């Protein structure tokens, strides 16, 4: 790895940050919309950000 850490070391670091409240455990609604749009538009350039936002409203996550 470029930073010299193993997967297990990185995982331990992430869990520590989550335990400290410095890294959210679940993605925010905005992150879910962004990921859904970004991943989908790669395959289908007809998809719009509005479509991703409406989809997020139909399937709320942990933050509503």
Q: Report pLDDT digits (tens) over 29-53.
A: 899 899 999 999 999 999 999 999 9
Task: Pull the structure tokens for residue 54.
Answer: 């409406």
Q: Specify the higher pLDDT residue, 51 or 24.
A: 51
Distance CA 57, CA 54 (A): 5
The tokens for 14 are 């992430």
Say how far apart CA 10 and CA 18 lie, in whole Å. Answer: 12
Whether the per-residue pLDDT at 2 is higher than 70: the answer is: no
Query: CA torsion sign, 30 to 57 to 27 to 50?
Result: negative
């Amino acid at each position: 790895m470029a930073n010299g850490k193993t997967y297990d070391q990185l995982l331990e670091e992430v869990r520590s940050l989550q335990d400290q409240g410095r890294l959210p455990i679940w993605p925010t609604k905005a992150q879910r919309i962004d990921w859904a749009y970004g991943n989908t538009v790669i395959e289908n350039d007809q998809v719009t950000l509005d479509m991703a936002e409406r989809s997020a409203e139909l399937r709320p996550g942990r933050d509503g």
